[in-house]
Structure 1
């Protein structure tokens, strides 16, 4: 089978397409024929060594997310059958092989059945982006721990950076759950994408400036926002604290724009707001299982999609063009980058 491998961190040049023998699934494991392999920012950061962690194994097949078809089942696996369409998450977490290969073997709990008729392109977007968004939306005081239609009714969610993959997922999931969704973007084109995702109020922060952005968010949410889904705390925390509702939650899932923030104690504690740090790899098995179930339900309801009509343009690459795919994500391309690994049929 064809597989993308790397043996040392570095630029996209370290990625090589090679032939490897497929692994057999052990007890409690599932082998998936990969149709789509998604490239997330976490994938190029791990490849480049920018996280400082280095490679955990002598040879690594990258990519956490993907979708495909169950190819074989290990002993004791229940709830899946050969031929089932599935999506996967955390494929390469603490394992040497991810989804950038034709066949990948995963623990059963990381493989989720796709609803009937759901496109593989959608399935490949349900790992890092959607599960992260689910966690950010389900940790607030008095708020729901699960998402479903009406679960966020009466609540307002601010998504900072609504044109990104996690931002797009947060908009779609929050709108499905009944929230009023406000989002910030940096251009007219991104504003159109955020509206396509389902945002009710869209603010171009570059056009309005900091004070104008606060005013626009406050106009949309006079009593403050209940949850902020935050991609850039170094840039946005001052704004977040001006618009957060009493006992609201600022859920921080990335460090775009800088790795450090400073807090003014009185301005911070007067709202009784909480900071929720979100990293997919350490949220725990219970949170991952809940997210997988709820996100899949949103797909089944037709409330979660990909493509420009859902606010997330798609960029397809061949497996052999994996280096270019990584470079696109590293360069900040708007939308979702996918490797077409095998034929869906």
Structure 2
């Protein structure tokens, strides 16, 4: 079978298309014929590593997210899963052969979630990292809900920084499904249009408008939850608009990795600064996140594509390096590799 792998860290060119033996599922595992492989920033960051040229042994198949059809099951796994459409999450994490940039991937059965016939493979491959990250960000607020769904965020206001990004788009869609009032910030009118298509109630162009005054005009008491993509740039803004007992959920690092925290402005409202990384998130949260995202898909509440504010960019398996380059360069939208 065809697979993409890298045996050394570095630029996208380290990704190599090879022929691998067909993998067989062990006890508790399933084999999925991959239709779509989703590419996220975490995938190129893992490929690049901390130092270019570092050997990777065994060679790593990249990409955490994907969708496809279960075609074989291991011992102890319900045989009824064969032929089921599924989406995959954290397929490559601590599994060199598990990534979705290959024709067949073997993963533990808990790493696949049923994909309804009404949902496309494109949507399935776009769910894992963005939507689970967004779910975690939206459920860490003091006295806030631990589940998402209709009515769960009613009466609450959510501010999403970077509403045209993949996680920003996911946060807007999940927050609107849960009946929050959603404010988002963007850097230009084109991105503002995408955020509006995702479902944002209010769109603020931070290059043309004063974010603090605009947010306070919409939510005089402040916002309950902030989904933050750029903490170094936005920490002072976040502290100025956070509501009492509100939270700032930080899921990205700005590239620099440091930020100045406004202590007094955060202390007075008893605000929470919560850092979010899927791989080390609490085990108690994960079933809730998976269940809620699956429920949103089943309800038809989340979408992908330009009409949902998230343009799709398709590549072939042979173009895996170009797909990684597109994500690394900050392309607006979702990058997918068409494996099957």
Pairwise TM-score range, normalised by the shorter structure: over 0.9
Moved more, 289-298 or 254-263: 254-263
Post-superposition CA distance 1:179-217 (Å, at most 9, x none): 000000001000000000000000000111xxx111111
Using the TM superposition, give the Cα deviation of residue 241 of structure 1 relative to its aligned residue in structure 2, in angstroms.
0.3
- 1:101 is aligned to 102
Q: Residues of 2 paired with 1:51 and 1:217: CA distance? A: 41
Matches within 5 A, 1:220-259: 220-259=218-257
> What secondary structure, in the 3-state scheme, does the structure 1 residue paired with 2:58 have?
coil
Secondary structure in 2 matching 1:59: strand
Inter-partner Cα distance in structure 2 for 1:40 and 1:156: 27
CA distance in 1, matches of 2:263, 2:52: 31
Matched, 1:261 2:259: yes
Aligned pairs, how many?
339
SS at match of 1:286: coil
Q: Separation in 2 of the partners of 1:21 and 1:61?
A: 13
Matching of residues 22-33 of structure 1 within 5 Å:
22-33=22-33
Query: Is the 2:151–2:178 contact (alpha carbons within 8 Å) kept by the matching residues of 1?
Result: yes
- CA offsets, 1:126-185, max 9 Å, x none? 100000000001111111001111100000000000000000000000000010000000
Q: Distance in 2 between matches of 1:281 and 1:53?
A: 24
Give the alignment partner of residue 217 of structure 1, picking from 200, 215, 218.
215
> 1:286 offset after TM fit, Å?
2.9
Match of 2:36 in 1: 36
Residue 302 (structure 1) aligns with: 300
TM alignment of 1:98-247, pairs within 5 A = 98-208=99-209, 212-247=210-245
Distance apart, 1:287 and its partner CA: 1.7
- The offset of 1:72, in angstroms, is 0.6
The 3 A distance-change label for structure 1 pair 334 and 109 is same
Aligned counterparts of 1:95 and 1:55: Cα–Cα separation in 2: 16
Say whether 1:280 aligns with 2:278: yes
Specify every segment of 5 or more residues in structure 1 that has no aligned partner in the other structure, as ranges.
none
* Structure 2 unaligned blocks of 5 or more: none
- Cα 1:183/1:81, change in 2 over 3 Å: same
Task: Report if the CA contact (8 A) 1:46-1:54 is conserved.
Answer: no
* Distance in 2 between residues matched to 1:310 and 1:285, nearest whole Å: 31
User: 1:53, 1:240 → 2: CA distance?
Assistant: 39
RMSD: 1.5
TM-score (norm 2): 0.97
Match of 2:191, SS state, is helix
- Structure 1 distance, partners of 2:289, 2:242, is 25
Matched, 1:60 2:66: no
Report the counterpart of residue 325 of structure 1 in structure 2.
323
SS of 1:304 mapped into structure 2: coil
Query: What's the TM-score, normalizing by structure 1?
Result: 0.95
Looking at structure 2, the residues matched to 337 and 13 of structure 1 have their Cα atoms a distance apart, in angstroms, of 17
Give me the whole-angstrom Cα distance separating, in 1, the residues matched to 2:311 and 2:194.
Answer: 8
